[in-house]
Amino acid sequence: MESIEYIDRKTGELLREIVPGERWLKWLYHNPLGRLALHGVVKKRFLSAWYGRRMDTPASRNRIPEFVRSLQIDMSEATRPASGYSTFNEFFIRELKPEARPVDPDPGAVVSPADGKVLAFEGLQGLDRFFVKGQSFSLDRFLQDRTLSARYEGGTLLIIRLAPVDYHRFHFPADGRISGSTPVGGTYYSVSPHAVKNRLSVYWENKREYSVLRTQQAGDILLCEVGATIGGAIAQNYEPETEVAKGQEKGWFTFGGSTVIMLLEKGTVRVDADLLKNTRKGLETGIRMGERVATTI
């Protein structure tokens, strides 16, 4: 894989993603010696925990200016300037001005819970358009709850990948009542396409947390936050078993790559055509929190 390309949703243009440490990622996941390091050290919890602690030190704030410059981050969207953070992690989970992420007000619209690149699969089919052929999404292994996974068989799968450049808070995709969050232990593989194209199982091997949003129009939406290599810790910021509003903050990821996965029950929504079309082409679509991804049926 030479580079990560995706579709800009607004323009339809094919863009290349700026990936920090891309050469290192390619070495880890596509070189025999790199894979030895990956399985021996990189996927382990202690490395991510150690790096996460470094990003919480005062000295880490010195990384912010170069990070903003190299990834071309628009700081006019943030509630504070780049100089207004005491650590890198504080900057990484920066809050945005409300007007920076308008939420689709249509009651029938299910919106993206996060900024990132999205893949959309109806009926949990067609995964080999993006992932290596022959792989399938194992609901049983992903949720580790046979009764729960049965509810989403034949349903819709949305995979929203957050790169380091992205806004790293995640939100509710619809109005509803939210359950508590169930943690599932695991490893810390990268969620970059350089890693997951050949290893779909990363999504049920990595550390993750899931909850169920019970809605009136879109059924029960399962939301799962997946952590990844070098940080990616998950923080929940809501009260379980309460009524929540579409676009309301749910939590955040600390430094690192991460993913939000949405599962929707069969026959509850119709996924936006452009997302399905791009996925069939083997391409992710750039998306922002609050943009519609599906419409209730």
Q: Is there a domain that residue 7 lies in?
A: no
**Whole-number pLDDT of residue 231:** 56
pLDDT of residue 233: 83
Residue 84 shares a structural domain with residue 110: no
The percent helix, strand, coil of the chain (3-state, each to 5) is 30, 25, 45
Q: Alpha-carbon distance 255 to 42, whole Å?
A: 15
Q: How far is CA 293 from CA 92, 104, 171, 240, 250, in A?
A: 25, 10, 14, 25, 18
* Total count of domains within the chain: 2
Residue-wise DSSP of 33-52 = HHHHHIIIIITSHHHHHHHH
Question: Is 97 a domain residue?
Answer: no
> What's the rounded Cα separation, in Å, for the pair 166 and 191?
14
User: What is the structure's pLDDT at 171?
Assistant: 98
**48 is known as an active-site residue:** no
Give pLDDT tens digits for 137-164.
999 999 999 999 999 999 999 999 998 8
At residue 89, what is the residue type?
N
Same domain (yes/no): 43, 187: no
| Residue 60 annotated as catalytic | no
> Which secondary-structure segment (H or E) carries 208?
strand 208-214
Annotated catalytic residue, options 115, 166, 220, 272:
115
Domain match, 176 and 275 both: yes
pLDDT for 173-201, tens place per residue? 999 999 999 999 888 777 778 778 888 99
Residues 261 and 288 in one domain: yes
Same domain, 181 and 285: yes
Is 181 part of the annotated catalytic residue set? Answer: no
d(CA 200, CA 191): 9
Say yes or no: 108 and 153 in one domain: yes
**pTM more than 0.85:** yes
pLDDT number for residue 14:
97
Q: Check: CB of residue 293 under 8 Å from CB of residue 272.
A: yes
Q: Which of 168, 194, 258, 272 is catalytic?
A: 258
Cα(286)–Cα(275) distance, integer angstroms: 10
Residue written as token pair 């998306």: 287
CA atoms in the 13 A half-sphere facing the CB of 157: 21
Are both 65 and 153 inside the same structural domain? no
Q: Which of 171, 181, 192, 272 is catalytic?
A: 171
Distance CA 68, CA 86 (A): 15
| Shared domain check, 121 and 84 | no
**Same domain? 158 vs 250:** yes
Q: Give the range of the structural domain holding residue 61, as residue numbers without chain letter.
A: 20-92
Are 117 and 85 in a shared domain?
A: no
Q: Say if 14 falls within a structural domain.
A: no
Q: Using CA atoms, how far apart are residues 91 and 86, in angstroms rounded to an integer?
A: 8
Residues of the chain with pLDDT under 50: 22, 24-50
- Residue 150's pLDDT is what? 96
Same domain, 141 and 42: no
